[in-house]
C-alpha cells in the first residue's frame, strides 16, 4: 500500500486536481492521499493558507473576516465548478468555517481550514472517505507527535477503504485544533505512512525530486536519485525547501522509503529517500544555504573555569526566547548563531545587558545578516580533500568565512558567511564540488 501526499501546487486548481486523480487511479496501491491547502496558481496569486491567517488577523483586530473570506470561498467553489461538481452543498460548509473564524477560534484553527476544506472537496470528487485528523493526530506543545497518534489511526483505518486526509494539523492534548509548522502536510503524510505500514510514502510536489542545488541559482541543476534520511534532514536544515525536515521522524524507525515526485511529470523517477545508500563515487548529495541568522558573541577571561557556565548562559538565552541553532567555542569565548526572528532588537538589548551584568563578561555583542551554508553527503568524512576544495573556491570568489565546521556531523560540513554572499557561496561550492 502506498500513501501519497500532494502539496499546494498540486491542488491549486481543477486542472491540477484532475492530474492528482489520474496519478492515484494509475496505481491501485495508492489508497491514502493527504492534501495541502490550494497553493498559488501563478507567481502573483495568494495561497489559501495566507488568506486564512489574514482572516484571523482581522478578527483579532475586532473586525469581521466576512469580506476577505469570500475570496477563500471563491477558490473552492470555482474549483468545484471547474470539476463539474455542484458547489451548493459546499457553501454551507464554507459559511460554518467563516463563522468559527469570526467567533475567535484562533490562528491555528483558521489556518487549518485550508487543508480541511481541500480534503473534503477532493474526497467528494474522488468518491473516497474523508478522514479528519483533528481527533486522531495528537501534537505535543513542542510540535512533535504523541505516540498515541498511531494507535488512534490504526483503530480507524480499514483495509480496502480509500481515504482523503487533510494535512498540516491535528489537535493538542485538550482536543483543540493545533497545526504543525508551515509545510507540515509532509509530516501528516509521514504519520499516515507509518500508521498504515505503507510500503512507500510518495510526496508529490511541483519539481521532479530533490535537487543537489537550488535550480534557481544554477542552470541545469541535477536531481538527486537516491539519498538518505539523514542527508534530507541536513539539507532541509540549511534551507533546501522540497521536503519538511521534521517529516523524516515518523518513517525512519519503520524504514519506509520516501519518493519525492512531480505531479506535472509523473513518469519522472524523482528522488528516493532511504535508510542508507551506496556511495559509488558520489559522496555528496547537495549544497544549500539558509539566511536569517544573527550572531551572539561573548567573551570573558577564564570563562569556562566556572562549572555549568554553558548551561547557565543558555538558560538565560531561553528566558529571552533565544534558542541558538549553531555554537562555536573558544578558550575564553562563545559564539552562538540564532534565527533573527526569535527576538526583537529591544529584547536582545535587554538580554545582552542582563547577561553581561550577571556573568561579569568582558564583552558581549550581537550582529545580524548571517547565513549558514551546508555541504551535505553521506561520504563527507571520507573525502578530506573537500576542505581544501571548499575553502579554495570561496577564497577565489572573495567570499569571507565566519566559521568552518567539519567533524561535528558525519553527513555535513557547515560554513558561516554573510547573508549577502550566501547565494554566491552556494554557486561557488557547487562549481567546485559538483560540476
Please state the CATH superfamily assignment of the domain spanning residues 286-433 in this structure. Answer: VC0802-like (3.30.2130.10)
CB 50 within 8 A of CB 37: no
| Spatial CA neighbour of 287 closest among 350, 364, 210, 357 | 210
Q: Give the Cβ contact number of residue 1 at 10 Å.
A: 15
pLDDT at 189 over 70: yes
Secondary structure element (H or E) that encloses residue 171, with its range: strand 169-171
pLDDT at 243 over 80: no
Q: What is the mean pLDDT of residues 209-223?
A: 92
* Maximum pairwise Cα distance, the chain: 74
Question: pLDDT tens digits, residue range 367-421?
Answer: 999 999 999 999 898 888 899 999 999 999 999 999 999 988 889 999 999 999 9
| Spatial CA neighbour of 60 closest among 98, 106, 109 | 106
Residue that is written with C-alpha cell 482536543 in the block: 175
pLDDT of residue 183: 82
CB 223 within 8 A of CB 404: no
pLDDT at 240 over 90: no
The span from the CA of 153 to the CA of 195, in Å, is 6
CB 49 within 8 A of CB 11: no
Number of separate helices (H) and strands (E) present in the chain: 13, 16
Q: What is the mean pLDDT of residues 351-360?
A: 96
Q: What is the mean pLDDT of residues 216-222?
A: 90
The span from the CA of 226 to the CA of 208, in Å, is 13
Q: What is the mean pLDDT of residues 213-234?
A: 92
Q: What is the mean pLDDT of residues 213-232?
A: 92
Assign 280 a pLDDT band (cuts: 50, 70, 90): confident
The span from the CA of 331 to the CA of 300, in Å, is 9
Q: What is the mean pLDDT of residues 64-84?
A: 97
pLDDT at 433 over 90: yes
Q: Which CATH number describes the domain made up of 2-274?
A: 3.40.1160.10
The span from the CA of 315 to the CA of 318, in Å, is 5
pLDDT at 363 over 70: yes
> Which has the higher per-residue pLDDT, 243 or 406?
406
CB 164 within 8 A of CB 128: yes
Averaged pLDDT of the chain:
95
User: 226 is written with which cell numbers?
Assistant: 537516491
**pTM of the complete model beyond 0.85:** yes
The span from the CA of 394 to the CA of 228, in Å, is 27
Would you call 205 helix, strand, or coil by DSSP? Answer: strand
pLDDT of residue 242: 65
Residue that is written with C-alpha cell 534558542 in the block: 323
Question: Per residue in 36-46, is it b (16+ CB within 10 Å) or e — as a string?
Answer: bbbbeeeeeee
CB 183 within 8 A of CB 244: yes
Question: pLDDT tens digits, residue range 2-35?
Answer: 999 999 999 999 999 999 999 999 999 999 999 9
Strands 326-329 and 163-166, how do they pair? unpaired
| Domain parsing of the chain, residue ranges | 2-274, 286-433
User: 294 is written with which cell numbers?
Assistant: 544573527
Backbone angles phi, psi at 63, to 5 degrees: -110, 160
Assign 135 a pLDDT band (cuts: 50, 70, 90): very high
Say if residue 365 is exposed, middle or buried (CB neighbours under 10 Å; 0-12, 13-18, 19+). Answer: exposed
User: 122 is written with which cell numbers?
Assistant: 477532493
The span from the CA of 4 to the CA of 2, in Å, is 6
Question: pLDDT tens digits, residue range 301-344?
Answer: 999 988 999 999 999 999 999 999 999 999 999 999 999 999 99
Amino acid at each position: 500500500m502506498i500513501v501519497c501526499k500532494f502539496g499546494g501546487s498540486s491542488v491549486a486548481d481543477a486542472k491540477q486536481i484532475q492530474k492528482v486523480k489520474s496519478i492515484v487511479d494509475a496505481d491501485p496501491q495508492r489508497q491514502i492521499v493527504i492534501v495541502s491547502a490550494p497553493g498559488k496558481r501563478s507567481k502573483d496569486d495568494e495561497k489559501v493558507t495566507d488568506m486564512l491567517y489574514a482572516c484571523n488577523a482581522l478578527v483579532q483586530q475586532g473586525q469581521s473576516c466576512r469580506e476577505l473570506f469570500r475570496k477563500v470561498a471563491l477558490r473552492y467553489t470555482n474549483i468545484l465548478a471547474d470539476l463539474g461538481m455542484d458547489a451548493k452543498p459546499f457553501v454551507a460548509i464554507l459559511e460554518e468555517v467563516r463563522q468559527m473564524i469570526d467567533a475567535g477560534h484562533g490562528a491555528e484553527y483558521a489556518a487549518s481550514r485550508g487543508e480541511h476544506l481541500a480534503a473534503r472537496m477532493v474526497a467528494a470528487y474522488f468518491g473516497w472517505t474523508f478522514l479528519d485528523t483533528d481527533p486522531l493526530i495528537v501534537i505535543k506543545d513542542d510540535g512533535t507527535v504523541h505516540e498515541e497518534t498511531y494507535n488512534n489511526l490504526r483503530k480507524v483505518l480499514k483495509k480496502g477503504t480509500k481515504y482523503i486526509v487533510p494535512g498540516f494539523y491535528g489537535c493538542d492534548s485538550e482536543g483543540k485544533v493545533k497545526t504543525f509548522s508551515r509545510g507540515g502536510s509532509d509530516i501528516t503524510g509521514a504519520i499516515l505512512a507509518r500508521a498504515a505500514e505503507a510500503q512507500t510514502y510518495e510526496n508529490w510536489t511541483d519539481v521532479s525530486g530533490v535537487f543537489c542545488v537550488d535550480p534557481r541559482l544554477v542552470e541545469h541543476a541535477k536531481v538527486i536519485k537516491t539519498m538518505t534520511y539523514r542527508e534530507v534532514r541536513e539539507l532541509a536544515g540549511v534551507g533546501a525547501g522540497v521536503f519538511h525536515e521534521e517529516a523524516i521522524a515518523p518513517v525512519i524507525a519503520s524504514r519506509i522509503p520516501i519518493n519525492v515526485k512531480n505531479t506535472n511529470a509523473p513518469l519522472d523517477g524523482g528522488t528516493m529517500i532511504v535508510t542508507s545508500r551506496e556511495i559509488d563515487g558520489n559522496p555528496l548529495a547537495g549544497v544549500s544555504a539558509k539566511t536569517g541568522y544573527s550572531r551572539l558573541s561573548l567573551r570573558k577571561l577564564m570563562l569556562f573555569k566556572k562549572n555549568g557556565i554553558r548551561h547557565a548562559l543558555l538558560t538565560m538565552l531561553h528566558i529571552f526566547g533565544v534558542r541558538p541553532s549553531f555554537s562555536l567555542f573558544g578558550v575564553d569565548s562563545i559564539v552562538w548563531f540564532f534565527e533573527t526572528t526569535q527576538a526583537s532588537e529591544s529584547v536582545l538589548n535587554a538580554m545582552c545587558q542582563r547577561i553581561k551584568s550577571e556573568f561579569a563578561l568582558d564583552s558581549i555583542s550581537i550582529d545580524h545578516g548571517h547565513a549558514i551554508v551546508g555541504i551535505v553527503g553521506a561520504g563527507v568524512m571520507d573525502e578530506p580533500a573537500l576542505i581544501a576544495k571548499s575553502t579554495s573556491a570561496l577564497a577565489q570568489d572573495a567570499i569571507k568565512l565566519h566559521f568552518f565546521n567539519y567533524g561535528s556531523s558525519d553527513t555535513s560540513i557547515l560554513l558561516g558567511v554573510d547573508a549577502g554572499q550566501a547565494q554566491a557561496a552556494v554557486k561557488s561550492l557547487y562549481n567546485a564540488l559538483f560540476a
